[in-house]
Amino acid sequence: MRCRAGGVLCRIERHCLCLPLFLVLPSLASASATTELFSFKDDQSATKYVEQNSAIVAQVAPADIAALVERGWFSAARQLVTASHGSEDKKQQELIASAVRQETASLKHQCDNLLETLTVQKEIGSVNCAFQWSQNRSHLFLNVKFSHRWSSPGCLKVKNNQISATDRFFNFSADGEHSGLKKRYRLDLHLYSSVVGKKLTWHMASVGHMTAIVGKKKHDRWPRLLSSPEKPKNMAAWSDMDEKWKEDLRNAPIAPEPVQSAVEEASALAWVPDTPGWVLEHWRVCLLIITGVGIMINEMGSWRLKA
């Protein structure tokens, strides 16, 4: 309904507003174009309509193109995007491009999740994490990557983090996924000397990394990180931190070679991460029991042969 001022009367909750035609007509045209575009039953009909009405690009909102992608009407969406290249409205082109990228990324993520359900994983693989280390007089610094090798891509995000430092052991474990497969990420270190568990701090660093700071029991310089002089393949020096604390370690006393206890010897020789603590603590007794059972079985076999 027209008003005397040349606008359009809009009835909102029993009140009449007079809106100028230049505000009303564009929205009506856009609504009309959108309604007609989505009135078709399939992608082919919508595509044909866009081909015959290239001016619709200026009337269709970016959200409408995103809706076409969500429906799976890729031909119609592609036709609209192609037609938008000839438009002089650069802002409209940018909005359309942003909507298409966002919707296709969401669609790709859903398809990837669907493909992952096709893989039946019977066992969760275990990954011994690659790491870098450094030290100053009072602390150890660990930079852990959720991958078996520092140069290899790894898991970007983990959960169920478990981190501890007790006496001469540092242990880390977490669950994650890589290449669609579930993984258990671990790092179990038998350290050169004693640390203080209460002085352990850690946080997730850049994507796919975790850093930990462990307080030493004595303020000195360790000749190496681990109790064993052999360097594992997954360990490397943290060069930036070494440079940072070079002066702090220059005149620091060198920590003496530690004397291993029976528990530590058993842990170093036959360490299994999930082995019960009492087995490690009484490993000599367990060995004697196993040997005794073996002798008894051997004697019983000999007795049966004689009988």
Averaged pLDDT, groups of 10, the chain, 307 residues long? 44 46 41 67 86 74 82 86 79 84 85 73 83 97 95 89 94 89 93 94 90 96 95 95 94 85 50 47 68 75 62
Q: How many CA atoms lie within 13 A of 270 on its CB side?
A: 13
Does residue 32 sit in the same domain as residue 82? yes
Domain assignment of residue 160, given as a range: 125-259
Does residue 177 sit in the same domain as residue 66? no
How much is the mean pLDDT over the chain?
Answer: 79
* 3-class state of residue 4 by DSSP: coil
Return d(Cα 161, Cα 63) in angstroms, integer. 40
Tell me the pTM: 0.53
pLDDT at 260: 62
pLDDT at 236: 96
pLDDT at 290: 80
Residue 207 is assigned to a structural domain of this protein? yes
Q: What are phi and psi of 299, to 5 degrees?
A: -65, -40
Does residue 167 sit in the same domain as residue 80? no
Which pLDDT tens digit goes with each residue over 143-187? 999 999 998 888 988 999 999 999 999 999 999 988 778 899 999
Determine contact, residues 252/137, Cβ cutoff 8 Å: yes
Does residue 133 sit in the same domain as residue 235? yes
* 3-class state of residue 209 by DSSP: strand
Helix axes 62-71, 74-84, angle to 10 degrees: 150
Does residue 210 sit in the same domain as residue 240? yes
pLDDT at 21: 38
Residue 215 is assigned to a structural domain of this protein? yes
Determine contact, residues 211/203, Cβ cutoff 8 Å: yes
Does residue 134 sit in the same domain as residue 241? yes
Does residue 153 sit in the same domain as residue 244? yes
- DSSP-derived secondary structure letter, 233: T
* Domain's final residue, options 60, 86, 116: 116
Split into its structural domains, the chain has a count of 2
Q: What is the CATH number of the domain that holds 143?
A: 2.60.40.790
